[in-house]
Amino acid sequence: MKWTPRAIAWAFLLVLLPVPVLAQEGSGDADDDGSRTDWFPGVFVVAPLRAAPLEVRLGGGLFVTERDIDDSIDGSNLEAQVAVGVRIPVVRFQDEAPGRPAIDLGFEVGVFSRFFMESIEKEQIGTDYRVGVPLGIRYGMWDVRLTLLHVSSHFGDDYLDDNPQPVFQVSREGLELLLGVRPGFDGRLYVGGDLNLGRSEDFTGTGDPGDPFVLFTTVEKWAFRFGAEWDPTRWGDKQIAPFAAADFEITEFTERIASHVMAGAAFRIKTVRLLLNAEFHDGPSPLGQFRTIDEKWIGASLTVEL
């Protein structure tokens, strides 16, 4: 089966439509042994990745960016990044207990945009969209997350007007797998990757006998990722503490590893965490339209975890 946006939408409906009916059949509270299904538990069993650029989150920042591409935006440029997303744990199948892992299923949607701040229009450079259904499993120090996802990427119209360049269809449907371990130092190590089952395709040529159309794939088949996190306000009991995280990724279409490193201070206020980050990126861009283009950026951002 080829996963398309329509197929993913139907999967969402199959997951979410039974919720109101089933929620009325019980209180939604877990039994004493934690084995009862719990609808909308409020917290995922597997915490989100801290430094992965396209992890669904709510936040934004300012960055000085250099991109290895021929366009009219030369040298170091001030850019803004905005991420608007929500992650909803839909159902907790069971809580963790001796001999039994915690398992849940959720829904996530995120929009990631980049803006050129040195123009009067503050033109939008590009935007990525991510929609996913993550299945999480946690047992002891181990985390596993399998996500059915759709990602698509688009240039900003104003950016293309000022910087004409080829535009390709860049979208994919696939599976993302992550395996994490929390060895006890208020942190987590993880490894994983993507397998893209549905990949957009494009044509080049005029179609004339002397210049026939050539079909080519514009999205990588696979990506490999690994990283580390140290975060005492998440994995420990501190209300205010420094944190650090690093994420590294390489794809089928790139030869360099994309490195994304961040550090800062985290503040927990009741059920909300505020993270003030300093960030550095070097390697292929996380923006879908620039996935094979090297870029560097350094700057500061704020992330809000509800």
Q: Answer whether 159's CB lies under 8 Å from 71's CB.
A: no
Count of C-beta atoms within a 10 Å radius of residue 306: 9
Residue 271 forms part of a structural domain: no
Question: Looking at residue 235, what is its pLDDT?
Answer: 83
Q: Answer whether 147's CB lies under 8 Å from 179's CB.
A: no
Question: Looking at residue 248, what is its pLDDT?
Answer: 98
Question: Looking at residue 32, what is its pLDDT?
Answer: 56
Question: Looking at residue 74, what is its pLDDT?
Answer: 60
Residue 212 forms part of a structural domain: yes
| CA separation for the pair 162, 279 (Å, rounded) | 28
Residue 249 forms part of a structural domain: no
| CA separation for the pair 303, 48 (Å, rounded) | 13
Question: Looking at residue 68, what is its pLDDT?
Answer: 77
Handedness of CA 193, 195, 200, 202 (dihedral sign): positive
Domain that holds residue 158: 5-26+50-224
| CA separation for the pair 104, 41 (Å, rounded) | 9
Q: Could you list the pLDDT tens digit for every one of the 306 residues in the chain?
A: 444 544 554 455 455 444 444 443 444 554 556 667 899 998 999 999 999 999 999 999 999 999 877 655 666 889 999 999 999 999 999 999 999 999 999 999 999 999 988 877 788 899 999 999 999 999 999 999 999 999 999 988 888 887 777 788 889 999 999 999 999 889 999 999 999 998 888 877 767 777 777 777 888 899 999 999 999 999 888 899 999 999 999 999 898 999 999 999 999 998 899 999 999 999 999 998 888 889 999 999 999 998
HEC assignment per residue over 148-186: EEEEEEEECHHHHHHCCCCCCCEEEEEEEEEEEECCCCC
Number of domains into which the chain is organized: 1
pTM for the full predicted model: 0.84
Count of C-beta atoms within a 10 Å radius of residue 296: 17
For residue 253, give every residue at least 6 positions away whose Cβ sits within 8 Å of its Cβ, in sequence order, or none: 220, 291, 292
| Amino acid at the residue 292 | T
Q: Which residue, chain included where needed, has tokens 């509270």?
A: 29
Residue 255 forms part of a structural domain: no
Looking at the chain, how many residues does it have?
306
Residue 280 forms part of a structural domain: no
Question: Looking at residue 184, what is its pLDDT?
Answer: 83
E strand or H helix at 5, and its extent?
helix 5-16
